[in-house]
């Protein structure tokens, strides 16, 4: 009897599951010979957290890869969570079988990502790894380093980051743009999260890429309890934005539009700052005089679940996205969503959400007003959202396709 098949004797489904698992983690070469576990190094995220979409993706992928038998090491930035030290994960060195290693980090705006990525690339290059998976364009600047030491390098491009407003001055945009070029030049495989970015890499660099969108979990919908006690929120009493508070998310338009919407519903803006608090302060100044607008700060755990579970609608008015994970999550909770018409959002929602013209405050105001005035339309969208998105995007399938690239 072959090793690994004793547990599923007489169970055809179990046999095929065992074969699939073994083909992913490399325990068998298909001829009955045993091979070592695939050794994977991952960097480009901030740390093991929910600080942003990249961090969520890394957690989802790495957790499943470790469960599938991979030997995974994550190289994290040193320092504190962007929303404060109270959200730090108490310096864990291992999480669900995944090694967590903090790398030296220069704690200054613009230098934290560069310095941590440089050290992570060095450790990955000299470490005993089969594959180095780099997330995001900036960290991909160092793709050449592990490549030079014989590692297989995979880069996931989460979006065209050098176009973000925060990088439009100084050297940040040039560094990230060069990271994009290095990904195209040095990576063995490049993963993109949208068809638009796939077309961009083909047209700009002649580089073939792999379109592997993010996945989503089907969550447990929770009743309003914590959000009632902390913020006075009830089911369907608020419109929700949840994400990083950065200019390209379109939150300025959202606040300006909402101030002219005639409704008793609140606008809840949930999320922490990125790098500095200046943009959050700008938003709070813009929201002054409208007591319906509520800023919760960074949320996670049960509080986050309740906010998603009880929103009247979820809105994402972004100018720029890679693949908006918060949008997938919002729909998985059965939310009616209102999004800008950028391809990265429109590709996700298809005809299962409300759409407004990017950057158009008046069109956003009209769509918000329409949603508030027509609850039957909102309820129709809610009923179809969860099944649609959970069938379309699946984390296990993402892991399966990603690990195929590790083994090519």
pLDDT per position as a tens digit, 314-362: 999 999 888 899 999 999 999 999 999 999 999 999 999 999 999 999 9
Banded model confidence at residue 275, pLDDT cuts 50, 70, 90:
low
DSSP H helices, 26-143, are 53-67, 112-126
Q: What average pLDDT does this structure show over 213-228?
A: 96
- Position 89 scores a pLDDT of 57
| Phi, psi torsion values for 352, nearest 5 degrees | -105, 20
- Position 14 scores a pLDDT of 42
Banded model confidence at residue 20, pLDDT cuts 50, 70, 90:
very low
Count CB neighbours of 342 within 10 A: 21
Distance CA 114, CA 119 (A): 9
Higher-confidence residue of 225 and 6: namely 225
- Position 8 scores a pLDDT of 38
> pLDDT tens across 291-316, in order?
999 999 999 999 999 999 999 999 99
- Position 6 scores a pLDDT of 32
Query: Could you tell me if 47 and 85 are in contact, meaning their C-beta atoms sit under 8 angstroms apart?
Result: no
- Position 366 scores a pLDDT of 98
Cross-strand pairs, 240? 268, 314
- Position 79 scores a pLDDT of 63
Q: Is 370 exposed, middle or buried (0-12, 13-18, 19+ CB in 10 A)?
A: middle
Cross-strand pairs, 132? 41, 153
Buried residues in 387-405 as b, exposed as e (16+ CB within 10 A): ebbbebbbbeebbbebbeb
Kindly report the average pLDDT of the chain as a whole number.
88
- Position 87 scores a pLDDT of 45
- Position 51 scores a pLDDT of 83
Banded model confidence at residue 171, pLDDT cuts 50, 70, 90:
confident
DSSP H helices, 249-360, are 251-258, 278-287, 301-310, 325-332, 343-349
- Position 322 scores a pLDDT of 82
Cα 282 off chain centre by: 25
Query: Could you tell me if 113 and 138 are in contact, meaning their C-beta atoms sit under 8 angstroms apart?
Result: yes
Per-residue pLDDT for 379 more than 80?
yes
Give span(s): CATH 3.40.50.2000, the chain: 34-215+394-407, 226-392
Per-residue pLDDT for 402 more than 60?
yes
Per-residue pLDDT for 35 more than 60?
no
> pLDDT tens across 42-78, in order?
999 998 887 888 999 999 999 999 999 999 999 999 8
> pLDDT tens across 186-219, in order?
999 999 999 999 999 999 999 999 999 999 999 9
Percent above pLDDT 70 for the chain: 85
Higher-confidence residue of 133 and 7: namely 133
Q: What average pLDDT does this structure show over 21-43?
A: 64
Match domain 226-392 to its CATH number in 3.40.50.280, 3.30.1540.10, 3.40.50.2000, 3.30.70.100. Answer: 3.40.50.2000
Tell me the pTM: 0.82
Specify the range with the lowest mean pLDDT, choosing from 100-114, 129-143, 202-216, 385-399. 100-114
CATH architecture of 34-215+394-407: 3-Layer(aba) Sandwich (3.40)
Q: What average pLDDT does this structure show over 24-37?
A: 54
Count CB neighbours of 95 within 10 A: 16
- Position 71 scores a pLDDT of 96
Residues belonging to the chain: 408
* Secondary structure, 3-state, 201-249: HHHHHCCCCEECCCCECCCCCCCCCHHHHHHCCCCCCEEEEECCECHHH
Structure tokens at 230: 């902390």
Banded model confidence at residue 374, pLDDT cuts 50, 70, 90:
very high
Nearest to 367 by CA among 236, 237, 239: 239
- Position 21 scores a pLDDT of 47
- Position 72 scores a pLDDT of 97
Tell how strand 131-135 and strand 152-157 pair up.
parallel
E strand or H helix that includes residue 29:
none
- Position 272 scores a pLDDT of 87
Specify the range with the lowest mean pLDDT, choosing from 30-39, 152-161, 386-395. 30-39
Cα 86 off chain centre by: 22
Nearest to 335 by CA among 313, 357, 355, 303: 313
Per-residue pLDDT for 2 more than 50?
no
Higher-confidence residue of 52 and 245: namely 245
């Amino acid at each position: 009897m072959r090793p690994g098949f004793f547990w599923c004797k007489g169970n055809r489904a179990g046999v095929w599951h065992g074969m699939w698992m073994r083909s992913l983690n490399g325990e068998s070469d298909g001829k009955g010979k045993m091979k070592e576990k695939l050794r994977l190094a991952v960097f480009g995220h901030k740390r093991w957290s929910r600080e942003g979409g990249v961090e969520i993706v890394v957690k989802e992928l790495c957790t499943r890869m470790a469960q599938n038998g991979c030997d995974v090491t994550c190289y994290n930035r040193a320092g504190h969570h962007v929303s404060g030290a109270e959200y730090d994960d108490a310096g864990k060195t291992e999480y669900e079988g995944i090694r967590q290693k903090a790398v030296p980090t220069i704690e200054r705006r613009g230098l934290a990502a560069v310095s941590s990525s440089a050290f992570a690339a060095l450790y990955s290059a000299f470490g005993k790894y089969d594959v180095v998976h780099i997330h995001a364009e900036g960290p991909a600047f160092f793709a050449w380093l592990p490549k030079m030491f014989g590692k297989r390098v995979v880069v996931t491009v989460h979006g065209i980051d050098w176009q973000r407003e925060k990088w439009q001055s100084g050297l940040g945009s040039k560094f990230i743009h060069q990271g994009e070029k290095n990904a195209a030049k040095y990576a063995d495989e490049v993963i993109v999260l949208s068809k638009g970015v796939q077309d961009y890499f083909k047209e700009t660099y002649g580089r073939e890429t792999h379109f592997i969108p993010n996945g989503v979990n089907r969550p447990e919908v929770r009743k309003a309890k914590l959000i009632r006690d902390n913020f006075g929120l009830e089911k369907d009493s608020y419109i929700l934005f949840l994400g990083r508070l950065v200019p390209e998310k379109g939150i300025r338009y959202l606040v300006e539009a909402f101030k002219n919407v005639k409704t008793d519903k609140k606008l809840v803006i949930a999320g922490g700052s990125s790098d500095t608090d200046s943009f959050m302060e700008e938003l709070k100044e813009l929201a002054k005089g409208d007591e319906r607008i509520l800023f919760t700060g960074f949320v996670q755990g049960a509080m986050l679940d309740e906010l998603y579970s009880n929103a009247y609608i979820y809105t994402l008015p972004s100018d720029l996205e890679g693949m908006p994970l918060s949008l997938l999550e919002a729909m998985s909770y059965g939310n009616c969503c209102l999004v800008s018409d950028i391809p990265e959002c429109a590709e996700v929602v298809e005809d299962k959400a409300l759409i407004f013209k990017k950057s158009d405050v008046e069109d956003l105001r009209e769509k918000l007003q329409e949603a508030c005035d027509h609850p039957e339309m909102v309820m129709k969208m809610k009923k179809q959202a969860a099944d649609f998105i959970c069938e379309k995007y699946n984390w296990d399938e993402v892991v399966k396709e990603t690990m195929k690239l590790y083994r090519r």
